[in-house]
A and B are shown apart, each in its own frame.
Chain A
Amino acid sequence: MKPKVAFFSFTSCEGCQLTVLECEDILLDMLGQIEIVRFREASSLKRDDYEIAFIEGSASRPDDVTRMRKIRERANLVVAIGACAVSGGVNFMKNFHYLQRTREHVYGAQADWFPTTQVQPVEAVIKVDHSVYGCPMTKDEFLETVKSLLVGRTPRIPQYPVCVECKMAENVCLFHRGQTCLGPVIRAGCQAFCPGLGAGCDGCRGLAPDHNLASLTNVLGEYGMKPEEVRRKLRLFNGYIEVQP
């Protein structure tokens, strides 16, 4: 029996759902192993008998919390896919502004037409069984998660920071190039994608479990970044750590 799988989208750019469709070379093989019963971006099928729910995006509308809870009730396993679902992603930056003023700034007199709440990652609303990190999530980690769930083992997701993959790729360290990078405290698994392309890590995969942010903050200080600038840089994808229980 193929497991029944559903994809749900909340506040996000829908890039992680698109990443699923971008598994072109393996998409048909994957469809041979799972039965997709709900995937709004790609299918008009709307069944509720799913066992595994992949959730993209954060909760940020009044009825999002109810929708997420309903998914949790129906699914055996809930997998948060992508930064918005895992930690709020860029959405979370909104929480550092006054909500009503934010609505009025963008929508003026029509502010009330656009109901919005504080942004919450999925884990703040319901229990999450697995997370696929990144903005967008990587194809490889998504497939690793799907494969692991199919054979019943824990997905192999790195706990160590980006530096490991950067050194394996023999990249020239961005710090040595006079630039800054959050790689030393951010969870690897992206194969040091951005540093490999000459762009410092912005931290989309979240803090590595064993990070030493205090020490990196000192290093960044030597590169001219004040501690409040480090915090602001982290807010790009990781504002949630400031309020995380």
Chain B
Amino acid sequence: MTNKFLANQEIPSFLSALAQEYQVIAPVRRSEVLPDGSSRYSFQPLNAGPGDATGLSAAVLDYPIALNDPKKFFFPAREELLRFQRDGSGQFGSARDLSETIAPPPRALVGLHPCDVAALEQLDLYFGSDRIDPYYQARRSGRLLLVAVSCLSPCSEECFCASMKTYRVDSGYDLLLTRLGEGFAATAASELGDQWLQRLTSLAPLDADREELLTEVFSEIEETFAAGVAFDAAAVPRNLAKGYRDPVWREEAERCLSCGSCNLVCPTCYCFDVFDEVDIAATEGARLRTWDGCMLKSFAEIAGGENFRAAREARLRHRINRKGSYLHQRYGRLFCVGCGRCASACLVDISPATIFRTLEERYGH
């Protein structure tokens, strides 16, 4: 596989080259300034034209974390599934499945962090293994280039990728950019990534000094994150099973706002609600789906008003068990990448990491 050096001054031409063939999507800085002077970032499609605020130059490759992960480009917050209309007899007859009409432009997602890559792989499992979701697949299987960026240190106090071992991933992307002083080491991780690096002839190959430096950076990454391990991820499913009736659920859920923020910002949450909308004359309509969240009381409510998880405590326990136990049983891996978005979004500081650690302290021996 090819390795090259992407100097800072080469980044614009690198993005322009990608923009020749793809719609470039990258993190951009949001205009809001936080009290400590920092900013938030979000993945946005960028205009290929130079200069303007939504152009390629707005892409930021050194950034802590994006508000939402790139899931939204494959599984949008709201989408139409099918359209239907009344036929001649007045019945809602013909329905047109829209999965066949989904044709996103070729897209280059630039700036994914390792946890984002890991999350996308988990979504692939859910939407593509025991049940195939044609809407997700139509977007996911389109022409796509994934350019990841290495994390050199934890991005926030809430992130726990060190414990989840998602601070570095070896696959699931095409190119990896790793900060090396005045530029990035660009390493290919797929054939497509390799082709791109070979095509970018203006980029110098990674020389021996930089190769060595890169190896050092990777071992520094290992050291930095090893120091931040807060719990044993491998023991999470077992501890959750033992702690099913632990008071931690009540203790934590008491202050839960049931606002669903943790679900909505989670890169591995995939639950959705499906409903129909009709026009005012009720002659035609569409079936839509929107993101939903298991922390919302209405989530497990069924006809007649019965609710399987009416209590906050039950909902919190369910959510954490989904991430750390139930899906582990189905897919053999944890459905959490430790990005900490849920904990950052939570106004009352509820974090899976705290719960995993608490249960480990109580049941880990």
Contact = CB atoms under 8 A, between A and B. Distances in A.
In the complex, A touching B (Cβ < 8 A): yes
Contact of A212 (B40, B68, B258, B296): B258
Interface in B234-257: 254-257
Contact of B34 (A167, A176, A183): A176
Contacts of B32: 172, 177, 198
B315 to A, nearest CB: 10
B281 A29 contact: yes
A175 interface: yes
B257 A172 contact: no
Residue among B30, B32, B257, B278 with the most chain A CB within 10 A?
B257
Given A172-B34, A209-B297, 10 more contacts: A151-B278, A163-B260, A164-B264, A168-B77, A177-B35, A184-B259, A210-B298, A212-B255, A212-B312, A215-B256
Q: Please classify the interface of chain B as helix (H, G, I), strand (E, B), loop, or mixed, using the class held by over half of its residues.
A: loop
Contacts of B34: 172, 176-178
Interface residues of B, number: 37
B227 interface: no
A33 B281 contact: yes
Interface of B: 30, 32, 34-35, 40, 42, 67-68, 72, 77-78, 254-261, 264-265, 275, 278-282, 290-291, 293, 296-298, 312, 345, 347-348
Nearest to B259: A163
Given A163-B261, A167-B265, A175-B347, A147 B278 contact: yes
Given A159-B297, A159-B298, A178-B35, A172 B265 contact: no
Interface of A: 26, 29-30, 32-33, 143, 146-147, 150-151, 156, 158-161, 163-164, 167-168, 170, 172-173, 175-178, 183-185, 198, 208-212, 215-216, 218-219
A62 to B, nearest CB: 38
A172 B40 contact: yes
A141 B252 CA distance: 34
A208 B295 CA distance: 14
Contact of A168 (B30, B291, B297): B291
Nearest to B290: A168
20 contacts: A33-B281, A143-B280, A147-B278, A147-B282, A156-B275, A160-B297, A160-B298, A161-B257, A164-B261, A164-B293, A167-B264, A167-B265, A168-B78, A168-B290, A173-B347, A175-B347, A176-B34, A212-B258, A212-B312, A216-B347
A77 B195 CA distance: 66
